[in-house]
Structure 1
Amino acid sequence: MDLDFLSPVSEDLLDEITILDKQAIGANIRIHSSGSGVPDLEDVQVAIVGVKENRRSAQVDEFLHFDNIRSSFYSLFPGNWHIKIADLGDIEKGADVEDTYFALQSIVSQLVKKDIIPLILGGGQDLIYGQYRAYDTLDQMVNLVNIDSKFDLGDADNPISNRSYVGKIVVNKPYNLFNYSSVGYQTYFNSQNEIELMERLFFDAYRLGEVTSNIYDIEPIMRDANLVGLDLGALDGSSLGGGYHVSPNGFNGKEICALARYAGISDKVSSFGLYEYFSGYQPLGNMLVAQILWYFIEGVNYRTNENTISAKKEFIKYQVPVDDEVLVFFKSPVSGRWWIEIPFSGSVNTKLKRHTLLPCNEGDYLEACNQIIPERWYKAKRKNEI
């Protein structure tokens, strides 16, 4: 692998590791150091990558670093995990922001091709653009889930920023985006034009109150995602202990860790980015970010690999007539999770064939039995017909 874009973890952090408990994460993680270089990635399933880029963020942190997150994360104890983790260090700012995007795109692409999940720590959330472009060479349409208080659609005619990267993803070639889901948006932070545009594009949007009232409903959304981004501005300011994220409303620590675990346990999620980090966080904020990372990895550890052909052969099939349609549901006898089949027209691009089963929950099946068609099934079917 070509990992020349990466700089090693700081020597101060390596010194801290020497005094950690032998069972702590920091004492059992493979780390990119100046002395030994990039670690061996054989059998590694999750790789941490920092990206010191925030020039197109509203809050520019000239001295952005992730040492405090790493220090908090290294001090935690792993669960009963069987996976191996590496910390590959940081991508430094490029001469231009586009250079940083390219470096991130290259590293994420290489890792994903090796079945290693990049766990990205980033500054500006426009870095999701680089994370997304990593899938250009993977010959598949992708689903992006964004945990954020804003849609970040922006004006695609203007330069990319941390508030307009989704618009660039939609209009820039190659077109790899199948679906975009915004989780935790707050209406007063989004214009009605953007809300209406989300509906016209058949994208999914879930309000903060809707999510927090039953957070398990987001599990099928995460199960269908290929890449996930988290804007720390989606959290309430008190959970982070201040900093420049000052919104009184947002996800609390328990809720955001649950969402991170759902992302980790999804068999399809192949990269996870945590963005809009600010070096000025207090210890409370850094520990919460470290625990978000912990819960994502905890989820990865408990994946059931139900996307395989052999696993799907064991699914239990249910057929439900609704009006002129026959909705076909599948249930896993192992995890108890549900899927619904999406019909395809004959002219559909072959890239979409991986989306024949749409994750759902038992409530969708029960509603179908009561002659109510799930909204997500309708949207997916319409997109396949366009």
Structure 2
Amino acid sequence: MSLSDFLSPVTYTSPTNGFYTSHLGSKLEIYNSDFPDLESNTYDIAIVGVQEDRNAINNSGTALSADHFREKFYALNEGNYSTRIVDLGNIKAGHTVSDTYVALKLVVTELIIMNILPVIIGGGQDLTYPQFMAYEELGQKVDLLVVDSHFDLDDDPEGVNGTTSHSYLNRIFLHEPNYLFNYSNIGYQTYFVNQESLKVMDKLYFDIHRLGDFSSSITIAEPIIRNANMISFDMAAIRSSDAVANANATPNGFYGEEACQICRYAGMNDKLSSIGFYEFNPEYDHNGHTALLLAQMVWYFVDGFYNRKKEHPLLPKSQYITFRASLKDGSHELVFVKSKKSDRWWMQVPYPTGLSKNERHHLVPCRYEDYQLANSGEMPDLWWRTYLKLN
């Protein structure tokens, strides 16, 4: 099996005057005719378009997003690093939606095995499901982060086996065997979420964060993002004034610059091995602004990637400082770790006896404020929820 069996060449052509030598369009390896040699250890990141929108509820047209994104992305300048990015073209819509899912799953799996990070440009957000299923092929537990104003837990019989852009999380949560360790949401808006869904999230000890939680500073999102293996970004999480090209766009959401910062944090995450951007609909993008914003978001992701600190796993130990704090009731001693390189923080949460043969603690990215809370004798909510999840 070759990945070229699932991918069609890029059809977007360069501007009449071509690209400047500093433009990404001059720096990327682009699949135009001959399929790139991915085994050559030449590439760090692969762009993969997916021309599938049959299960994108109320947002038909997203299948055309990848080429509109390319037009803007290729024209951006390379940052202060040498990019090793390949554009693998598009996964065409299969005979059935399930065929497209299988193709995306296999492409993501193979790229991760080759240590190439796929950047998926969809398509509807139901494509998060085959993105997730790639990790089943790898036999890997997943920390999933979704940037979305909704939870997408609807009971929607219209899609393939109940999978649509509004219901794909049901498939992920209920999948057996269970490869999902943690689900995080950033940016949900309470009036779009029913109370039963909130109870489900609380019962499963998942990390959900309202849009308003980030109103004081988007930096609060950094440790949440740092914990993810894969990310799914719904463009409708951005306010319509900044990203209008989505039939489901709403007045409130992240600002464009906040979306770019989220993407930079994602790129800097050493754990992250795939990211998908979904629900951009060019049919509503009359001035090309949303395509440009998406291109800038991916640019910031690439910038973060090439500024990774290589802090996962946390070795060597000489590069980190350990702090200990005791709770007022004396029930637990909490251990925190701070990086000397980046000043970022993690907390150690003990595994139950016998659960992990190789490690005694599960490391969770956290904020300095979590350490301050523990140092005052209080239990950080993140530590307790992780402890309950492990037990």
What amino acid maps onto 1:345 in structure 2?
P
Q: Retained in 1: the 8 A contact 2:246–2:280? A: no
Pick closer, same or farther for the CA change 1:262–1:63 going to 2, 3 Å: closer
Q: Report the counterpart of residue 45 of structure 1 in structure 2.
A: 44
Please list, as runs of the form range in 1=range in 2, the aligned pairs for 1:98-137 lying within 5 A after superposition.
98-137=98-137
Is 1:332 the counterpart of 2:346? The answer is no
Distance 2:55 2:323 in 1: 49
Q: Which runs of 4+ in 1 moved over 4 A?
A: 352-355
Is 1:152 the counterpart of 2:152? The answer is yes
Distance 2:239 2:269 in 1: 25
Match of 2:229 among 226, 230, 234: 226
Secondary structure of residue in 1 paired with 2:44: strand
Q: Report the counterpart of residue 162 of structure 1 in structure 2.
A: 165
Q: Once the two structures are superposed, what CA deviation does each residue of 1:16-35 show, in whole Å capped at 9, x if it has no partner?
A: 386111110001100011x3
Report deviation, 1:137: 2.8
Report deviation, 1:66: 1.9
Report deviation, 1:277: 1.7
TM-score (norm 2): 0.93
Q: Retained in 1: the 8 A contact 2:91–2:103? A: yes
Report deviation, 1:313: 4.6
Distance 1:63 1:358 in 2: 36
What amino acid maps onto 2:352 in structure 1?
S
Q: Report the counterpart of residue 7 of structure 1 in structure 2.
A: 8
Q: Retained in 2: the 8 A contact 1:105–1:131? A: yes
Is 1:25 the counterpart of 2:28? The answer is no
Pick closer, same or farther for the CA change 1:53–1:355 going to 2, 3 Å: farther
Q: Report the counterpart of residue 305 of structure 1 in structure 2.
A: 310
Q: Once the two structures are superposed, what CA deviation does each residue of 1:105-159 show, in whole Å capped at 9, x if it has no partner?
A: 1011111111111000011101000000101132321100000000112339861
What amino acid maps onto 2:255 in structure 1?
N
Pick closer, same or farther for the CA change 1:91–1:215 going to 2, 3 Å: same
Please list, as runs of the form range in 1=range in 2, the aligned pairs for 1:48-127 lying within 5 A after superposition.
48-58=47-57, 59-61=59-61, 64-127=64-127
Match of 1:265 among 244, 254, 268: 268
Please list, as runs of the form range in 1=range in 2, the aligned pairs for 1:317-328 lying within 5 A after superposition.
317-322=322-327, 323=329, 324-328=331-335
Q: Aligned pair count?
A: 381
What amino acid maps onto 1:380 in structure 2?
T
Q: Retained in 1: the 8 A contact 2:27–2:83? A: no
User: Tell me, which stretches of 5 or more residues in structure 2 are unaligned?
Assistant: none
Q: Report the counterpart of residue 36 of structure 1 in structure 2.
A: 34
Distance 1:133 1:369 in 2: 40
Distance 1:367 1:189 in 2: 31
Q: Once the two structures are superposed, what CA deviation does each residue of 1:82-117 show, in whole Å capped at 9, x if it has no partner?
A: 330110000001111111111111011111111111
Identity %: 39
Secondary structure of residue in 2 paired with 1:50: strand
User: Tell me, which stretches of 5 or more residues in structure 1 are unaligned?
Assistant: none
Distance 2:113 2:89 in 1: 19
Please list, as runs of the form range in 1=range in 2, the aligned pairs for 1:165-184 lying within 5 A after superposition.
165-184=168-187
Of the structure 1 ranges 92-101 and 13-22, higher mean CA displacement relative to structure 2 is found in: 13-22
TM-score (norm 1): 0.94
Report deviation, 1:213: 2.0
